[in-house]
A and B are shown apart, each in its own frame.
Chain A
Amino acid sequence: MAAVTRSRPRRWRRPPLIADRRVRWVLIAVALAYLVVGAGTIEVNWTRLSEGLARSGRFLSGFLVPDFTSRASDILQGMIESITMTVTSTVAGVALSVPFGLGASRNLAPAWLYVCCRAIIAFARAFHEIILAIFLVAMFGFGPFAGFLTLSLSTIGFLAKLLADDVEEADPSQLEAVRATGASWWQLVTWGVAPQVMPRLVGLSLYRLDINFRESAVVGIVGAGGIGATLNTALDRYEFDSAAAVLLLIIGIVMACEYGSGLVRRRVQ
């Protein structure tokens, strides 16, 4: 019997993320090649950049001494528009995403309704808010109403999809039990589905409130009302201290929203 001698690795090594060595090296080579080519095609205007660095100093000092007062009425107007837009669009979006979400759940809706609702949701999700805003401003005119429509539409795209996925993942034995008592479709939804998806729906709605506020600052850039318009004007005039004031307000409100929704979510779940 021949002695089988097999050389064993003496040192232990961490297993790599990608097990196949060839795949790993090819991926690394492709990534490096891309980085070199990609970085090569970035055009940088160095004189403009060095000018900008001086300006960034001014911007940072604006953050240390934000100017809330000299544009106070613009900022107030923008904030009121942003906040009202956020509240109304979240309520409208959530209210509409419930029927769309139920319609887009395969275990509750017939096939034709399922296809329709999924198509509407996919459409609402496909385009970035700002592109929707451009078109809605063109149709409905400037102002927060167009922003309200934009945010409601993207809320439907976000919430209805997640709700539908949740309903489809709901425990079928509970639905079966409710159905076995002779419940109608509405009773099935209220007693079988709602208790299972409600906590997450509440959490997601609060999260969406947060997102809608952040987005309301963006849609103003294309004329759909809100604090974004104020910010855009301030930056166009190189008034960095007013812009810093707006940014600090946005950060503050988002933090407050997150803290508040954290409290509510803990109570619900």
Chain B
Amino acid sequence: MPIVARSDGRRSWRHIMPAMELARFAGWLALVALTVFCWRVMTQDTIWAFVENAPQQAGDIFARMVPPRWSYAERLWRPLWDTINIATMGTLLAIVLATPVAFLAARNTTPSVAFVRPIALLIIVSSRSINALIWGLLLVTIIGPGVLAGIIAIALRSIGFIGKLLYEAIEEIDESQVEAIRATGASPAQTMIYGIAPQIMPAFASISVFRWDINIRESTVLGLVGAGGLGLALEASLNVLAWPQVTVILIMILATVVASEWLTARVRQHII
């Protein structure tokens, strides 16, 4: 109990012990020092004149952005379709690839904890560490610009996400049900289908839908690195400084994201 004796002999209650308080203070001090140090290093080359000028620049950009050039919208249907395709097919591809990885990574289903599991975990963490845009950058240089690069980029990023959440779900299943199925003389494949799959199905569905929603967001900007979709139109418009078109594209992106969020919310309500 954090009770300290005062000088007059009475005891009083405190939130935490003095030693702990000192340690916390030291921790905060270290954090502040680190932040200040990082700030100094980071802003070494910052040109403050540009920063001071920012409100004026913001006003300037905004003035160029309105009114939006609505007529441009009809040329965006094809990029929009591409964006939806990239997100959906990328998610499907990721589901196909991530499911086996998740089973190999889960402690209770992996064939070997010492060898296979670390490899599966490495695949998951590498895929998660690298953003879809960087995968896109990489794939565009390797297989050329286009929707295909976008689909593969989305899939490669999503393997880690789906794989991680799915293997955690597999590790949390009720073992007694698996045991019961095994006791009927079921083969390992049957155990998986009748013992494990039904338990992870709701998690699996909600993870996939959740990732699809994120992927819609990501695929709207993948075009910035040349991987197709609305981002490609955004890049083209930014390069020629066609700000009224940029406004239309941003509104389109916003509408797509809101629509996908609404759709996923509906689907999740039905699943859960």
Closest chain B residue to A42, Cβ basis: B147
Q: Check B57–A127 contact: CB distance below 8 A.
A: no
Q: Check A139–B41 contact: CB distance below 8 A.
A: no
If A49-B143, A221-B224, A254-B125 touch, whether A14 touches B137 (CB-CB below 8 Å) is no
Query: How far apart sit A27 and B46, CA to CA, in the bound complex (Å)?
Result: 54
State which of B41, B234, B257 has its C-beta within 8 Å of the C-beta of A84.
B41
Q: Check B142–A254 contact: CB distance below 8 A.
A: no
State which of A17, A130, A144 has its C-beta within 8 Å of the C-beta of B42.
A144
Count, chain A residues at interface, CB 8 A: 61
Closest chain B residue to A15, Cβ basis: B198
A-B contact pairs, 12 of them (CB 8 A): A17-B205, A44-B146, A49-B143, A141-B46, A141-B50, A143-B45, A144-B42, A144-B43, A218-B133, A251-B126, A255-B125, A255-B129
Closest chain A residue to B36, Cβ basis: A88
Is B110 in the interface zone, CB < 8 Å from A? no
Interface centre among B42, B81, B82, B257 (most CB of A within 10 A): B42
Q: Check A235–B138 contact: CB distance below 8 A.
A: yes
The segment from A51-59, A68-76, A106-114, A167-175 that touches chain B is A51-59
Query: Which A residues lie within 8 Å of B45 (CB)?
Result: 143
Query: Which B residues lie within 8 Å of A83 (CB)?
Result: 38
Is A80 in the interface zone, CB < 8 Å from B? yes
Is B253 in the interface zone, CB < 8 Å from A? yes
Residues 28-66 of A, flagged 1 when their CB comes within 8 A of B and 0 if not, give 000000110011011111001101110110010000000
Q: Check B129–A140 contact: CB distance below 8 A.
A: no
**Minimum C-beta distance from A151 to chain B (A):** 11
Query: Which A residues lie within 8 Å of B42 (CB)?
Result: 81, 84-85, 88, 144-145, 148
Query: Chain B contact residues: over half helix, strand or loop, or mixed?
Result: helix
Q: Check B89–A39 contact: CB distance below 8 A.
A: yes
Is A215 in the interface zone, CB < 8 Å from B? yes
Closest chain B residue to A136, Cβ basis: B54
If A48-B144, A141-B51 touch, whether A91 touches B137 (CB-CB below 8 Å) is no
Query: How far apart sit A81 and B138, CA to CA, in the bound complex (Å)?
Result: 22
> Residues of A with Cβ closer than 8 Å to B?
14, 17, 34-35, 38-39, 41-45, 48-49, 51-53, 55-56, 59, 80-81, 83-85, 87-88, 91, 126-128, 130-131, 134-135, 138-141, 143-145, 148, 214-215, 217-218, 221-222, 228, 231-232, 235-236, 238, 243, 247, 250-251, 254-255, 258
Query: Which A residues lie within 8 Å of B39 (CB)?
Result: 84, 88
Q: Check A128–B58 contact: CB distance below 8 A.
A: no
Residues 232-248 of B, flagged 1 when their CB comes within 8 A of A and 0 if not, give 00100010000000000
State which of B38, B51, B254 has its C-beta within 8 Å of the C-beta of A145.
B51
The segment from B3-11, B68-76, B112-120, B214-222 that touches chain A is B214-222
Query: How far apart sit A126 and B54, CA to CA, in the bound complex (Å)?
Result: 22
Is B23 in the interface zone, CB < 8 Å from A? no
Known: A127-B250, A127-B254, A235-B141. 11 other contacts (CB 8 A): A39-B89, A88-B42, A126-B254, A128-B217, A139-B57, A143-B46, A145-B43, A221-B133, A221-B137, A228-B134, A258-B125
Query: How far apart sit A42 and B92, CA to CA, in the bound complex (Å)?
Result: 15
Is B262 in the interface zone, CB < 8 Å from A? no
Is B26 in the interface zone, CB < 8 Å from A? no
Is B88 in the interface zone, CB < 8 Å from A? yes
